[in-house]
Structures are given as structure tokens and as C-alpha cells.
Amino acid sequence: MTTHFNGAAIIGVGLLGCSLGLALKARHPKMSVVGIGRRLESLEIALERGAVDKITTDVAEGVADAELIVIATPVRLVIPMLDQVLAASSPHAIILDVASTKGAICAHAAQVCPSPRRFIGCHPMAGAETFGPAYGRADLYQDQVCLIEKDSSLHTEARERVCALWRACGARVVDLDVSLHDALLARTSHAPHVVATALALAAQAGGASKDIIGNGFLDTTRIALSSPEIWRDICLENQAALLPVLAALRGILSDFEAALAAADASAIEAYFQQGADARRDVTET
């Protein structure tokens, strides 16, 4: 299955979009890639870095001749951007997104896209605490999981080409059940960002400084450095799934707090043992 496209357009040239452009150009140097965005400064950085060949702030102009269109905007902009793209692009164009939430996006796509649907919901589980095109790199997706929507309404060849594209970028493709995605990611991605931020705030409030912090703090709070704008939007978009996870976390911490207050050694040891078992279970199976 070919991973070359007769023209590609990347809408949003932040870390994910710029990295995908660099990966595409590394594999297909002659493929024309247009960068589309709101901020000329970011577009110019992507252009200077070779992630794109041309830049524009005009969505209709940028997608008009593209066979592949990647929507790499903040999650709250994906749905309105998809509507703009559908109005301006070729009916044969393959469209994908890279957002961290999928339910509302894929439901909207199912309503507005012609059948069989050539919009494929994707979630490459790659990223870093850094953000913006200056930090994009061609190997960002190497050995990372990319969740790709699987549904009978999708255009079969379009989906196969999207899968081939991500594999060519080094990612491991995993079929995505959209109905489960947001609830699972609330537990494994979105809540961890909330907790990492809470830990950083608690340390600051307690007067911690770089001279007296351990690796556990550094490892756990690294992701608190991520873009506040991006994580604001992810949390708001996944509010329904995230709220019960935060409630469950409060309950777990409350039980531990009670055990600690009672100096219940066996309960405290059991807490840590259960946590170790749970981590092994979810990471090794």
C-alpha cells in the first residue's frame, strides 16, 4: 500500500503536525506538503525546518489540491475545521485528525461526511512536554502506538492508506473502538495530566525547590510542562469521561488517607502492593 500522496496539507503545524510533515518529507522528499495555520510565525518555523514546502493561512486555498489532509489543530477546533475542509477539498481526499479525544469528532464526521467515509479518526499516542514546530522531529512517532478508527462506514482503501502512512512513520497501528476511546484515555492520559499538575502545585505551595526534589517528582510531573491551552481543551472536550475518574481518584486517596491517619500498616502496604500489581497488569497485558 503506497504511502505517497499527490499533495498533502497539514492544518496546524505544532509538535504533532510539524513532526508528521518532517516524517513525510523524510520518506517522500518530492511530495508537496502545504502547512496551514493561524500564526505566520509558527508556519514560517515549519517551513524553515523543511516540514512543509508552502504555507498559507487560507484553509480553502491550502486543501484545494491535497490528496491527504491532516487536521492537527487543538481538539476544540477539529469539528469546525472538518466542516471547512469538506467544503473546500476534493471529494476523493483522505482526511485524518490527531486529536486526543474521539467520540464527538467521529460522531460529527459520521453525520457530515459522504459515505463511505474518507475521514479517519486517529490518535497517535506520541508527544512531549515541549510543544510547537520548533520541537517537531521526524522520529516522534517511531515505536509509538497510533490508534486508528475502525468502523464499517469507513472507506476501506482510505483506512488502509492511513494505516500504511502511520506504519511508515514508525508507529504501531492499533484498531480503535471510538465508543471506548474517551473513557480509557481519561484514565490513562487525561487524568495523569491533571494529577501531575496537582503534584507540582502542592510541591510549590510547600516550598519545594530543585535542591530537595527527587526523581519520583521529576518523573511524575514532567507532563505538567505541556501546553496549558491544549490540555484545557482536552479536559473540556472529555469532561463527561474525566469527571468520574477524578471522583474515583478522590475515593482512592481518601481511603489511603484514612489508613495513614489510623497508622494501619497492613492497609498501607496493601495499597502499594495493589498499585504495583495494577501497573504490571495494565502495562504487560
Rounded Cα distance, 209 and 259, in Å: 29
What is residue 166's predicted lDDT score, i.e. its pLDDT?
Answer: 96
User: To which residue does cell 497488569 refer?
Assistant: 281
pTM of the model: 0.86
What is residue 1's predicted lDDT score, i.e. its pLDDT?
Answer: 61
What is residue 9's predicted lDDT score, i.e. its pLDDT?
Answer: 97
What is residue 227's predicted lDDT score, i.e. its pLDDT?
Answer: 86
Task: For the chain, list the domains and their CATH numbers.
Answer: 8-176 (3.40.50.720), 181-284 (1.10.3660.10)
What is residue 128's predicted lDDT score, i.e. its pLDDT?
Answer: 67
Rounded Cα distance, 173 and 122, in Å: 10
What is residue 112's predicted lDDT score, i.e. its pLDDT?
Answer: 95
* C-alpha cell belonging to residue 246: 477524578
CA distances to 2, 162, 182, 191 from 41, rounded to whole Å, are 33, 29, 33, 32
- Picking from 69, 13, 17, the residue whose alpha carbon sits closest to that of residue 42 is 13
Q: CA dihedral in degrees (114, 117, 118, 121; nearest 10)? A: 130
- pLDDT values of the chain reduced to their tens digit, one per residue, 285 residues: 677 788 999 999 999 999 999 999 999 988 999 999 998 999 999 999 999 999 999 999 999 999 999 999 999 999 999 999 999 999 999 999 999 999 999 999 999 999 999 999 999 988 766 778 988 999 999 999 999 999 899 999 999 999 999 999 999 999 988 888 999 999 999 999 999 999 999 999 888 777 788 888 898 999 898 889 889 999 999 999 999 999 999 999 999 999 999 999 999 999 999 999 999 998 886
What is residue 213's predicted lDDT score, i.e. its pLDDT?
Answer: 85
